Structure 1
């Protein structure tokens, strides 16, 4: 049973009425980010109830030593932790000597928290009665600036309304923080220095082991009834024990600025707090405080209200391209905008060193910043809603980690430049801790190459492969060539001991999807090597000199690809998910009691592995990637065979099934899957939203609309559409940035409108028929 307390609204995530049980869930749902940093929606004031503090900086991590019962050769040395960074948002509030704390107030009324997705701003308001009897109204506005992505801004207002009051604010910085998910309770941060000057304060700290240096900063301005208030401030400090076990020393890790003043009944005392991070990723390590001061002074000169207005304009520009509008179904509209909003908060595409973590800036679970989700699900979203350079940056990210991918393969015994991209990584090095994933979920390697293919066919950019992509393709092809082995019994090449996308089957033989994508990679590598040799001779010579590629090796790839074994059932006329799938007791999910679900929380792992239940699309993932390799009849047979066994206990599952159900014309089923993927976190289907959001699967929500209901595909170098509309909707629309032209698609129950904003005529296919679009001309189909 999932929870539903978020009020349906087209543009906002709204929580009304105070409920302490919702605090951690709302902290996730209303998280903020700007592509460079992010934070959970923790309260600024003290809160003594259950909470999960979280502030994060893109690219900053800690290598937490792997914790396993016994070691295996090739095991990753560490699990990369997304670090809870020093906190800058805190503001202690005291009224007539009593701390403001919603957990201890005698009453809380008119509580409302709103994440305005149109503006990129978090609002919170409430009225509270403290234990000393004073009643106050509180209004808070907070955002992380897109324009100045090292800065966040808070406006915190308190109004006493039953008597005059003495109010104190103590804005503070705190580097004495920990992660909730540390393997060994290590100290992740070492505080180096604390300083303040006028209304500014700074904490410089570095991460242990990885030595990322960060300056956390703040500045404060006070106002009464909107008028600037000049108050003397008192510096406060606190210390905690830092250092290695047995060598811990007391270190100052907290600095606050204490302000106090008398406020009349009905008057509002406000503090504007600017804060955030500068790091040695972008600044000289020895001059971080100077850099922080410069950033703060720029924010102060701009002012809170002007920076807030800039935030609204910057988000308007994002939405102008990325928005999907839905008429007639507010929950569906809220769901898709929530997903698009969080994707844009997580990754802006400006920095090729960054990527899209499964939890983004909303939690610590899953560690590393990069999974195969980026290539399989996220690239289509960024490719179509932003400039193609953003998607190219994601491909460049993997290219720059190719050497590490080769090292990963070498650790497992592969040779001669074979590359195995990691399941989880920060810097290209594998850091996943579960052997059945680390060693066996190798289909991820194929997604690296599929993303290159997907990028080239959509953008028409043929320069990436000769410049960078072919080297990746060669490394992956070498891995697959070595990972297959010849079966004398089958007289075919087989793939033993793997885990497919369905993580509820470990250590199986001949997972169909893995075999298929590996075969495709070998064929693609053969074709692209010849293409680059013929059309980009200089690049090809450079690549051959670097990789030692030979014509004989290329021929071997094609030879192996032509002899791969694919498990198949004559009885069911379907490819089998793996060799032993039909040995299972094939009981459908419909016959599985709801009391036993989710099975990953109710069953033993042994029972799960022996069951037919599928966590997410596996064979059907292959039919999604390579839809044009199969007939509609084949898709239908495989969908009807595998979907009834699918429990959809991965966030990545409903979107693929929504797309395929729509392709089969089963719009009611497609709509059900869409609602599940779009509201997975909003309605907490998996009962885990407190831990953070499912960021990468949110791209699948976008795909569900554009590729599912809109039917967008690439056919023979052309955009193709087969639009449909769910019964619950009156109309929907989306935009596609296709090779520099902005294409708008609007679908109603009667027809579909297509238009482009600029450039030359664009030829597309609609239900298989050619349509020519011209500038400033809408075509109705």
Structure 2
């Protein structure tokens, strides 16, 4: 595999401008700070193919649904994050000719993302006759001032040259995925250095968002020549000369504010206030603040790997992009599958957050961050009841895709059939409670969510009189390469579990039954479903059957496919995929991961060895679940193979789709593969580890927060080291043996 970026423990860089894969380069060099973010677009003009993208957290638009044939129950709109103001844009002209790397002759190109400090750097030298003019760019989105993006440009030359720079606030931007090719923005106000825009009106009662930007410049060897205003653009113009001993330095600071935080009429004034508050700070001081803030995050979040630089780079890249997307500062936000790196999936909230992201945030951030993720769903419980009513069902149905809690996705097999996501909301409450020991959320908000979801499942099942069992027909499991199946094992198992866990919790907090209007007759119905839920199983093979007719398919391993068939979703028709046995991501195995403590090692082995060979891992969420199970089954080589796939999914473009944006929510998979896979961490009944050391690694180490304690864990050839850095002594288990941890302990590594 020829890599597009160099392998480095703390950087992602290239010395090649890949014009054929410019979009891929832009995705991988994305920046964000949880409030806003952007693809790795050039500041200056680039006229060849690229995908310009800047996105603001919580700013979106309800694009009217577009489908070939309307079905009752379809959401009226597809919610999507919208491409926001291009405040980075610069038009740089040298000796009367605009700089454009799509057409320039150039040398010494460099593009690099500094993961340790959160800074994007780029430079190159353009060749014009005998002149060599070097342009160096640097930018960051600030962790310490969330509304700030800072850009620094330096221009040097071996000969005298005239330079003009036009600096833009440009809202002439569109979404490539707009259903009706609409422009989503309208102008509100403009002035020198400031622009205010608003999303256009919509027919769905969704608020219009107002966004303001203010730009400020600090320059050396340039003069200001005035500004211009157009409907959706404001520019400020500069000119000067560069020579052998006269460098040009151009700094642009942009403050972006929105009506999410301020009154609509105040957004520009607030942006100017924030800009003024930074006047006393130099670019270097702002940059040092940024570097220190990232170093503080890395202090406990970093996973150190010795022995494989490519594996080290993979986990750090993923953690960097995750924390660039979400760090819990704003409880109104969630973790979009693409974060701030692209438009695909609409930038909305998916079940990925509860199923994949929550464990990482539980272990690496303050407990309130994970609780905020739960609160986010609680606040949207009324909308979940609305979603269920739309389908003619009781209880609460959490959406597959949402900004407000109302379903806003328009693919039938996902919106109406992929209902396993509803149980993920309850599983997140279960996992939070197990991990933290905090039962306050479970007792109050949690039980309200759980009751709503349980009532949904009790209505969604049907009783098959001929077999005396409850079934669930017409669903799509996590394996989206099969639609509209009957009795997906995972879905049935989850429905049964939600009813059981909710009933058990209600018995613990019995006073809540009356508050929630739960009668003994309703609980009796739940009990009947729990006791008679159909869970397809093949006794001869010793496996849980993915759905009723799965074993009727022509079963074969992925290894029997021709290389040119993969990825299937880019080479086969949808019809051919649906009829095949090939699995997009963990389905039955997802259940074995969720309820790992409820199955024997032999059950896990039989199911893994049956399903994994048929899995193409064409979902970014797939490799990590398989890596964790493979590690538990001591299939160490397979676990490492799948770790590499999840850790370097975007860096190596495994699924040939990174140009659309990064797979943010699945980036937790690299951390899960190490901590729950290689280190074997389990928290079902206390803290347990079953570590192994990958053959090519010399050691790996990480921190976790656990019930008010900070632990450091290192696994090396010498053994397993655990240090208690903060908090009270505790008991933990390593290789099924209990140890008392007061300061530190060492356990030999089991081979």
Per the normalisation by structure 1, the TM-score is 0.94
Contact 1:86 1:177 in 2 (8 A): yes
1:36 aligns with 2:35: yes
Instruction: Confirm or deny that 1:195 pairs with 2:196.
Output: no
Task: Give 1:234's match in structure 2, choosing from 226, 233, 239.
Answer: 226
Residue of structure 2 equivalent to 1:138: 135
- 1:243 is matched with none
Distance 1:13 1:758, change over 3 A: same
In the other structure, the counterpart of 1:577 is 546
- Give the match's secondary structure for 1:714: coil
- 1:670-681 pair list within 5 angstroms: 670-681=639-650
Cα distance in structure 2, aligned partners of 1:406 and 1:745? 43
In 2: Cα distance, 1:257 partner to 1:193 partner: 16
Corresponding residue of 1:77: 76
Counterpart pick for 2:126 among 125, 128, 132: 128
- d(CA) in 1 for partners of 2:564, 2:674: 32
Rounded to whole Å, the distance in 1 between the matches of 2:683 and 2:601 is: 16
Q: Is the 8 A contact 1:763 1:770 kept in 2?
A: yes
Q: Secondary structure at the match of 2:237?
A: strand
CA distance in 2, matches of 1:220, 1:356: 33
Within 5 Å, give how 1:551-590 maps onto structure 2: 551-590=520-559
The answer on whether the counterparts of 1:80 and 1:425 sit within 8 Å (CA) in structure 2 is yes
After TM superposition, list the pairs within 5 Å mapping 1:388-427 onto structure 2: 388-415=367-394, 418-427=395-404
Q: Secondary structure at the match of 1:25?
A: helix
Runs of 4+ with >4 A deviation: none
Q: Which runs of 5+ in 1 are unaligned?
A: 239-251
Does residue 550 of the first structure (1) align with residue 519 of the second (2)?
Answer: yes
Deviation at 1:216, TM superposition (A): 2.1
* DSSP 3-state at the match of 2:266: helix
The alpha carbon displacement at 1:496 in A equals 0.5
CA distance in 1, matches of 2:262, 2:150: 21
How far off its partner does 1:206 sit?
Answer: 3.2
| Counterpart Cα distance in 2 of 1:9 and 1:84 | 31
Is 1:723 the counterpart of 2:691 in the alignment?
Answer: yes
Residue pairs, 1:478-493, within 5 angstroms: 478-493=455-470
* Matches of 2:278 and 2:657, distance apart in 1: 37
Equivalent-residue separation in structure 2 for 1:499 and 1:760 (angstroms): 46
1:201 positional shift: 2.7
Distance (Å, rounded) in 1 between the aligned partners of 2:587 and 2:140: 39
Q: CA deviation at 1:300?
A: 2.7
Match for residue 244 of structure 1? none
The structure 2 residue matched to 1:222, chosen from 213, 219, 222, is: 219
Q: Secondary structure at the match of 1:590?
A: helix
Matched, 1:710 2:679: yes
Structure 1 residue 3 displacement after superposition: 5.1
**Partner residue, 1:532:** 509
Matched, 1:602 2:599: no
Partner of 2:154: 157
Whether the 8 Å CA contact 2:190–2:229 is kept in 1: the answer is no
- 2:463 and 2:228 map into 1 onto residues whose CA distance is 70
Identify the residue that residue 369 of structure 1 maps to in structure 2: 348
1:98 counterpart = 2:91: no
C-alpha distance in structure 1 between counterparts of 2:540 and 2:444, whole Å? 47
Q: CA deviation at 1:266?
A: 3.9
Q: CA deviation at 1:759?
A: 2.2
1:331 aligns with 2:310: yes
1:111 maps to which residue?
Answer: 109
Counterpart CA distance in 2 for 1:95 and 1:696 is 42
Within 5 Å, give how 1:450-465 maps onto structure 2.
450-465=427-442
> How far has the Cα of 1:708 moved from its partner?
0.3
For residue 163 of structure 2, what is the aligned residue in structure 1? 167
Shift of 1:152: 0.6
1:274-313 Cα distance to aligned partner (Å, 9 max, x none): 1141001111211111101011112332221111000011
Q: What is the alpha-carbon distance in structure 2 between the residues aligned to residue 62 and residue 3 of structure 1?
A: 39
Secondary structure of 1:43 counterpart: coil
1:715 Cα deviation after fit: 3.8
Alignment of 1:497 with 2:474, yes or no, is yes
CA distance in 1 between counterparts of 2:10 and 2:735 reads 32
Unmatched runs of 5 consecutive residues or more in structure 2: none
1:549: how far off? 2.2
Where 1:233 maps in the other structure, the secondary structure is: strand
Deviations 1:738-766 (A, max 9, x none): 12211000000230100011221121100
1:523 matched to 2:500: yes
Distance 1:320 1:438 in 2: 40
Q: How does 1:375-386 map to 2 (within 5 A)?
A: 375-386=354-365
Equivalent residues of 1:171, 1:220 under 8 A apart: no
Which whole-Å CA distance do the structure 1 matches of 2:106 and 2:519 have between them? 73
Distance in 1 (CA, whole Å) between partners of 2:70 and 2:564 is: 37
Deviation string 1:315-372 (CA, Å, 9 cap, x unpaired) is 0111011100000100000000001100000001011110000000000001142100
Does the 8 Å CA contact 2:196/2:210 hold for their aligned counterparts? no
What is the CA–CA distance in structure 2 between the aligned matches of 1:598 and 1:555, rounded to whole Å? 47
Aligned: 1:269 with 2:260: no
Q: CA deviation at 1:135?
A: 2.1
**Counterpart position of 2:707:** 739
Q: Deviations over 1:658-686 (max 9, x none)?
A: 00110000111100000011000000111
Looking at structure 2, the residues matched to 235 and 217 of structure 1 have their Cα atoms a distance apart, in angstroms, of 13
Cα distance, 1:165 vs structure 2: 1.3
Within-5 A mapping of 1:171-182: 171-182=167-178
Question: For residues 730 and 576 of structure 1, what CA distance do their matches in structure 2 show?
Answer: 40
Deviation of the 1:778 alpha carbon: 4.5
Q: What is the CA deviation profile of residues 708-760 of structure 1, one whole-angstrom value per residue up to 9, with x for unaligned ones? A: 001000142x1100011110100100100112211000000230100011221
- Deviation of 1:237 (Å): 3.3
Cross-structure match for 2:198: 205
Q: Report the number of matched residues.
A: 744
**C-alpha displacement of 1:380:** 0.4
Cα shift readout 1:89-131 (whole Å, capped 9, x = no counterpart): 01111111111111111x221111110000011011111124x
> Does the 8 A contact of 1:175 with 1:205 survive in 2?
no
**CA-CA distance at 1:207 after TM superposition:** 4.4
Separation in structure 2 between the aligned mates of residue 15 and residue 558 of structure 1, nearest angstrom: 60
Query: Is 1:56 aligned to residue 55 of structure 2?
Result: yes
Structural RMSD (CA): 1.3
- Structure 1 residue 780, shift from structure 2 partner: 4.2
Q: CA deviation at 1:236?
A: 2.4
Say which SS state the counterpart of residue 509 (structure 2) adopts. Answer: helix
What CA distance in whole angstroms lies between the structure 1 residues aligned with 2:484 and 2:54? 37
In structure 2, the partner of 1:45 is 44
Deviations 1:200-229 (A, max 9, x none): 3333333442301111221111024xxxx6
- Preserved contact between residue 32 and residue 324 of structure 2 (Cα < 8 Å): yes
Within 2, Cα distance between the matches of 1:468 and 1:124?
Answer: 48
Following superposition, the deviation at residue 134 of structure 1 comes to 3.4
Write the distance in 1 (CA, Å) between the matches of 2:18 and 2:579.
Answer: 41
Task: Give the secondary structure class of the aligned counterpart of 1:429.
Answer: coil
1:752 maps to which residue? 720
Is the Cα–Cα contact under 8 Å of residues 407 and 415 in structure 2 kept in the other structure? Answer: yes
Q: Which residue in the other structure is 2:580 paired with?
A: 611
Q: Is the contact between residue 198 and residue 208 of structure 2 (CA under 8 Å) also seen in structure 1?
A: no
2:289 to 298, 301, 310: 310
The answer on whether the counterparts of 1:36 and 1:58 sit within 8 Å (CA) in structure 2 is yes
TM-score norm. by structure 2 comes to 0.97
Aligned to 2:7: 8
CA contact (8 A) 1:119 1:312 kept: yes
| SS of residue in 2 equivalent to 1:181 | coil
